[in-house]
Amino acid sequence: MSNPDPDAERKARNGRSIAIALGLAAFVIIVFVVTIIRLGGNVASRPF
C-alpha cells in the first residue's frame, strides 16, 4: 500500500469539504426559494 502525499491528501479533503458545503447551501437555498414560490401570495392573505 502506498503512502499518499499528506499535502495532497489535505488539499483533496478541503476540496471535497467545500464541494459538500456548497452543495448543501445550494439545497437549502433551493428549498427556501421553492417554498416561497409554492406559497405564492397566500402568505400575505392568511388569517391571523
Partner 1 sequence: MAREQMTDATFNAAAAPARWQDYLQLMKPRVMSLVVFTALTGLVCADRAMNPILAAVAILCIAVGAGASGALNMWYDADIDAKMRRTRARPVPAGKVKGAEAATLGVTLSLFSVMLMGMALNWLAAGLLAFTIVFYAVVYTMWLKRWTAQNIVIGGLAGALPPVIGWAAATGTAPLDAWLLCAIIFLWTPPHFWALSLYTSEDYAKAGVPMMPVVAGAASTRKQILAYSAVFVASCFAPVVTGLGGLAYTAVTALGGLVFMILAWRVFRSRAGEAPKDRVEGLYDVKAGSKDARNLFAFSILYLAALFAALLAQHALGLP
Nearest to 29 by CA among 21, 18, 40: 21
- Specify the residue, 8 or 43, whose C-beta has the smaller distance to partner 1: 8
b/e for 9-34, b at 16 or more Cβ within 10 A? eeeeeeeeeeeeeeeeeeeeeeeeee
Residues 28-47 that bind partner 1 (CB under 8 A): 30-31, 33-34, 37-38
Least distance CB 4 / partner 1 (angstroms): 5
Query: Is 4 a binder of partner 1 (CB under 8 A)?
Result: yes
Least distance CB 15 / partner 1 (angstroms): 5
